Structure 1
């Protein structure tokens, strides 16, 4: 498993050496051969990505390897000492520079990173963005500064391309859910990039692409044996256990979320069990057409075909929260805002719509994306990915 490859190439733009003014291209490309002696010999040029010229040969590398530097945005990291192959997810063209500092409706939609291909998941931390995307036959895990920096490939062959479903950020790790039974639930250490398989086929042979977390536990969905909600303790590395399994019938979950005290899931209606003892289940909403669920700061949000509703955790005080939706693809509640993507944009496109939990009405952040593949938010911005342009974008809340 290949880890930790820096993608910020030395780029010549308008006579300046450094990262470009807009974004970064993370695509598969073969890099130059690295030196096998202290100091390394010069790496050969990386091939240019579509629309770019090939980069020139790099200078001598630091001890342990050589890297091929680009002049046209097509560099790839050269091999380390003793290797003959180049970087896996190289071909780095552009990096990101600080974006406009504005607020509210005066802020435009901004491209943070572009030309990424298909991004399948996105998570936001205090200063970093994390995402997964397909490169060749693999799903690549990438991190990058929120602005003013360059992406770094953390894991270049996490799982087969197209199999990642969700990505959760925690203080010291990332959690990845996949549709690969042998690697259904993964933990990636942010510092060491060590990958630990938390759930595999021995505990769940039919994974559901659902994960949720609170401060101490990680919960996952499984369709084995009629379906169950599983649990893994974050503070140790025990075998995953069944947290809740229906006594009769099937779990049939299509959405999963967690708070400090409760685990919620959608199986047409909305249910919950105690996050510690699994006592329950209790019905939170009897609506029979719910599809997704998210937990906010003080409320639980459930999505049906054309609406998002809010309730207290016990199901009281139901209220329409975001109306007039169509063909919803994602729902999340992060940093005090509820964000949803749907198909009610301009002809053939999607929208990103959000509403602060304490705000009186919702706001449309964009209405002309090709296909939104992931959404996220922090205290200042709403982020999303557009499959048509291969971009990670943002707009001030």
Structure 2
């Protein structure tokens, strides 16, 4: 049997801080190749990506897994109780950067796939797409893998992204969609001068305050059947003015939006620009704006795929999982344009923290869930 605990530990020992490959994908390629998977590196730019397939291309049924081996920076290493890349096991926990997000998830689905095709070779194919650029810009990660697959005629019929989705205990939540995410930056330009001579200046500060209030107080929607209400948060206002007798010439503000499928990134960009134009007209300042859309909101409606996953989760964990769209973004936002996708993985509240760790029993439970999903999908 392929031990997901050992594979998790071996992956955690790889210092794969984005965009460094750190040996993680090399290790997985060796393990999967030895198990009969055809492996190809689909690297792009500085990013390393791995595509692995068992079974002939063109099968009537092809099941996919997606995940990442890159991790966020360690931060203050002196604050760690256990070495961030030591993979030390203490009192039932496995410690290390990426132990939760998401080397344990990759190890679990890789181990499940390896043992499944060895013990019960399915009438179909299994594809694993694993990137080294989920924690970074993601431009050359999963999108590069999907571009490569399209060029090569590779196709997944359905896919599970192994991100941490559980909240309090493994099996309590499945993600069937994600909110969209975008950011916008405003530069509000006035005229600098002495604060005692207001007739000679144009203060950008009241204008940015007005814009911040209008954006953050506006009710975008009341939520939908599957999504919470959309939000717009002012995250920073930066002026850099240390003098109290000087009106600054300009100031900058940034906002972050999390939005449901009532909106699109384009429609919200238009709304932001309209509000900025109104403030310009009312105050006389000039406002430049730049927007960046990280991902659109998407939903995989409850149906066969969510039922397939929920059935295996319930059987292996004795949980009745909630179908949710909460949280931040994930690479499912790219996969959804390729095939139906849901996310299921471990409890995620220790990810990105100092002393990140995973409960070892949960790694084995996750492998059992993934194995059950494969068995149910292929009718074993």
Tell whether the structures are fold-level matches, with TM greater than 0.5.
no
Q: Which has the larger radius of gyration?
A: 2
Relative contact order, higher structure (CA 8 A, sep 6+)? 2
Give the structure with the larger helix fraction: 2
TM-score by length of 1: 0.24
Give the structure with the larger strand fraction: 1
TM-score by length of 2: 0.24
